[in-house]
A and B are shown apart, each in its own frame.
Chain A
Amino acid sequence: MTSTILRTAARVLMPLLLLFAFFLLLRGHNQPGGGFVGGLVVAASFVLYSIAYGVDAARRALLVDPSTLLGAGLLTALASGVPGVLAGGPFMTAVWIQPGAASRSILVGTPLVFDIGVFLAVIGVVLTIVFTLADVSLSED
């Protein structure tokens, strides 16, 4: 598919979508959003890119194999449970720290790490399925 309009639009939309996805991921704890929907948006942006430029170009743009993201996501989510154990609680007890000055009231905790794990895993799941399907479907036509 070589549509100039689609390609141009994809080029403009891609960074916006990615930015929006990170925005969703980070604000998810207090406002609508979160790792799951953020991951879906990232995946959708790469699907858009693959429709405009082809699956191989989308794979290259992703920099890592989607199946790597599967494992990385699960391991990140799993690892977010460990600090709670180290702090003497049950596995996956949230641990929060306050970086920066106390007046800025920014809290960073293991739930964010967990959400990042979900984020990565969701990207991996969707793109593994879509890219593999695209490879299989488009290769024998």
Chain B
Amino acid sequence: MAYAGAQGILHLLQSVRMTTFLHIAVVLSPFLALPLTGWLASRGAASARLLALIPAALTAYFGYAYLMLLSAGPFTVTSTWARELNLSLSFYFDGLSTLFALLIAGIGTLIVLYAARYLDKGRGKFFVALFAFMGSMLGLVLSDNVIGLFVFWELTGFTSFLLIGFDHERPAARAAAIQALIVTGGGGLALLAAAVLLTQATGTASLALMVQGGSLAGDPRYVGIVLLLLLAAFTKSAQFPFHFWLPNAMEAPTPVSAYLHSATMVKAGVYLIARMTPIAGGSTMWTGTILVFAALTMVIGAVRAVTETDLKRVLAYSTIGALGILVLLFGIGTTQAAAAGLVYLIAHACYKGSLFLVAGSLEHETGTRDVASLGGLRRAMPITTVAAVLAAASMAGIPLFFGFIAKESFYETVSAVNTAGGLLMTLAVIASVCLGTAGFVAGIAPFHGEPNPTRGAHETSPAMWIGPLLLACAGVVLGIVPMLAAGPVSLATGAVTGAASAVTLELWHGFTPTLLLSVVTLAGSLLLFVQRGRLWRLRWPAALHSERLYSGTLSGIDGIGRRIAPALQSASLRSYVLTVLVTALTLAAIALVANGVLPTPRRWTPIVFHEAMLVLIVVAAAIAAALAQSNMAAVLSLGTVGYGVAVLYALLGAPDLAMTQFAVETLTVVIFVLVFYRLRGFADLSSRMVKLRDAAVALCAGALVTTLVLFVGASGTTSRLAEYFAEAAPRLAHGLNVVNVILVDFRGFDTLGEATVLVTVAVGVRALLLIGRERRP
């Protein structure tokens, strides 16, 4: 009986392109799992912890993708959407994107475990936003289509907004969330513009094909592309002078700071620069701009980090410093620099993620993040202490830790840069010294010395120490056996530079000038750490707060708005209608005059009596509405106009339109009546002159529409749309009602947009009406 139905479903399943579809579904699985996420997370900490299985499975999947990559080279999975618009959902797996995806999924697993325990309330909301972020971030690094890249880029900004403002009842959290959204969202728009220019310049929207096409340095659009790309990267990766949003984003719950604002999202700008190196890199403009801003960023971030005492701010400024170093390395863009950048990136993700989570644990146990009032916690929290010390050692670049290798590679790259090498080297050492000190402040100071009286601090639960400990241990393992990282780093370096390269990572480089610099750096870090009390007394000069740039811009826009708005926004519906009508009339008049004589009207049909009567009724009702002396009379007259027009539709062969018009008119009258409860009584608000003006405009508008209707179809263009749809509707869409087939099938996407608009309007109306009122129970 249901045989044909089953056959239909079978046919559907067979036509599914399973492999491509599966790959895309896996990459988007954090999004697909959102309902499950919300449900499980709101059931308590134990259920929320189960969610870590999703990023864990993703980590395994990207490991598998990495193996495929090793054996078969980079590959793309594509689901085309609109080829004509260059729109497709496509993911490109190469050394760089897969390395980022592995970091995102791997660290994400630990963050989910940690956050399940760390949060006390609102887990459902939190995990939905966190998983949406994870999906966006994976989409960002894997996207092959530049428009897709932009969409995911903006999605990371949006989910970051939700997560920073998670504690939305605090004004500071809301302000920080909005600030991050505006700064990174502005950069996102620059990325969209860059994507459009790139597509125009290369003729493809695929990043993989763009990279194959090589450098665009000769293209006239090159300057624009570089500036827009760098604006996007600098805002996202908190480069000077846009770095101010990152410390403020520390309003987010600490797992978010560790994940988004240290390990993943802020690296999106770094990723963009690395990805674009073969296309836009290599020129003096590209490298020079990056060198200047990145060098400033690394020094400002690192120096400011040692003057802060709030643990999360210390870490945030040191992250800015590290981002400066990363952007610098990828901006130089040579094989050596790219390899150094990737090593630094992995090392930083490990130690900074760990230290952030430690800071969260400290706050969770002691109720404070002020490092000046923390001390001697090593006995109360031994495992956290081990994690913190190991991470701090890696951050300070002590030999046998991966951070050491990262810093050595960094120094070697900088010493190889000829231009301004001496100055850059000095800045690099200053930044590294301060970053090392910041590591000691965050990872050693709270545990060192005499115990400060803190209320019952004790070791956190395993879910909260496993993350920091594993990340810190990864720094040790990679430090002792750096060969483990050599394979992925080589592969990713090849993806950045566009040429296959074999990178070797070694524990011991011999007695080189770089080693001497490392020793000097370490000694400097220790010295500053001992003197940290003095550094904390320093105040950052107010003149250097680039946040004033942000607040100044915003208040400037506000000022312009305050001047322009009263002229444009008179809050009077009548003046809006007047503006629209006069504009339309003027433009139409210009067009008619410019085109010369009007075409001859279409043939006249004989006037039928009942149609003429209907028209008379409509006209009379319209005049009555204009002259009405009470609200109710006006509404009823308008209703008569509407019904009259509906009957005309029905007579002239548009039953769909007629039915809809009847229903709409009925509901409109009801809504008007309800609105009148709120309005004061009928009033004559216009002077005689104003009424005459309005009448003239209304008559002109009516005359224009009449003219257009009379002459439409006589202008020489014959449309075959009607024939086409009448023929195609039954054949292609199995429907005889052409109007409805167009609405739900041929132009279904338009209808979806219109339905969205309607729903938005309903939500807006409800919100406006309920402002200042208690919500109904």
**Interface contact A41-B663, CB-CB below 8 Å:** yes
User: Which A residues are CB-close (under 8 A) to B670?
Assistant: 47, 51, 130
Partner of B765, one of A100, A117, A129: A129
A67 to B767, CA, bound (A): 12
Chain A positions 108 through 141: 1 when the CB is less than 8 Å from some CB of chain B, otherwise 0? 0101101101100110111011101111111001
Contacts across chains A and B counted by CB atoms under 8 Å: 177
**Interface contact A33-B737, CB-CB below 8 Å:** yes
Contact A88:B17 (CB < 8 A) given known A129-B671, A137-B674: yes
Partner of B675, one of A111, A114, A133: A133
Residue B587 at the chain A interface, CB threshold 8 Å: no
**Interface contact B737-A90, CB-CB below 8 Å:** no
**Interface contact B762-A125, CB-CB below 8 Å:** yes
Interface size on B (CB < 8 Å)? 57
Residue A87 at the chain B interface, CB threshold 8 Å: yes
User: Which B residues are CB-close (under 8 A) to A34?
Assistant: 656, 737, 739-740, 743-744
A34 to B573, CA, bound (A): 33
**Interface contact A90-B766, CB-CB below 8 Å:** no
**Interface contact A125-B758, CB-CB below 8 Å:** yes
Residue B533 at the chain A interface, CB threshold 8 Å: no
The residue in B663, B739, B761, B776 that gathers the most chain A C-beta atoms within 10 A of its C-beta is B663
Residue B660 at the chain A interface, CB threshold 8 Å: yes
**Interface contact A138-B677, CB-CB below 8 Å:** yes
Chain A positions 84 through 98: 1 when the CB is less than 8 Å from some CB of chain B, otherwise 0? 011110111011111
User: Which B residues are CB-close (under 8 A) to A47?
Assistant: 667, 670
Among the 9-residue stretches B2-10, B37-45, B465-473, the one with 4 or more Cβ atoms under 8 Å from chain A is B2-10
Q: Give residues of chain B (566-584) contacting chain A, Cβ–Cβ below 8 Å.
A: none
A41 to B665, CA, bound (A): 12
Chain B positions 136 through 158: 1 when the CB is less than 8 Å from some CB of chain A, otherwise 0? 00000000000000000000000
Q: Give residues of chain B (1-34) contacting chain A, Cβ–Cβ below 8 Å.
A: 1-2, 4-5, 8-9, 12, 15-17, 21
Residue B36 at the chain A interface, CB threshold 8 Å: no
User: Which A residues are CB-close (under 8 A) to B744?
Assistant: 28-29, 34-35, 111-112, 114-115, 118
**Interface contact B762-A70, CB-CB below 8 Å:** yes
Q: Give residues of chain B (92-111) contacting chain A, Cβ–Cβ below 8 Å.
A: none
Residue A54 at the chain B interface, CB threshold 8 Å: no
Q: Which chain B residue shows the least CB distance to A28?
A: B740
A35 to B8, CA, bound (A): 25
**Interface contact B748-A114, CB-CB below 8 Å:** yes
Q: Which chain B residue shows the least CB distance to A137?
A: B677
Chain B positions 649 through 671: 1 when the CB is less than 8 Å from some CB of chain A, otherwise 0? 00000011001100110110011
**Interface contact B82-A67, CB-CB below 8 Å:** no
Question: Which A residues fall within an 8 A CB radius of B?
Answer: 24, 28-37, 40-41, 43-44, 47, 51, 67, 70-71, 73-74, 77-78, 81, 83, 85-88, 90-92, 94-102, 107, 109, 111-112, 114-115, 117-118, 121-122, 124-126, 128-130, 132-138, 141
A44: shortest Cβ distance to chain B, in Å?
6
Q: Which chain A residue shows the least CB distance to B743?
A: A34
Residue B678 at the chain A interface, CB threshold 8 Å: yes
Partner of A117, one of B80, B734, B735, B755: B755
A102: shortest Cβ distance to chain B, in Å?
5
**Interface contact B4-A32, CB-CB below 8 Å:** no
Q: Give residues of chain B (710-737) contacting chain A, Cβ–Cβ below 8 Å.
A: 733-737
25 pairs, CB–CB < 8 Å, chain A vs chain B: A29-B735, A30-B735, A31-B736, A32-B739, A36-B743, A40-B660, A40-B667, A71-B759, A74-B759, A81-B752, A87-B16, A90-B80, A94-B733, A96-B8, A99-B5, A100-B2, A100-B5, A111-B748, A114-B745, A114-B748, A124-B762, A129-B766, A130-B670, A133-B671, A133-B674
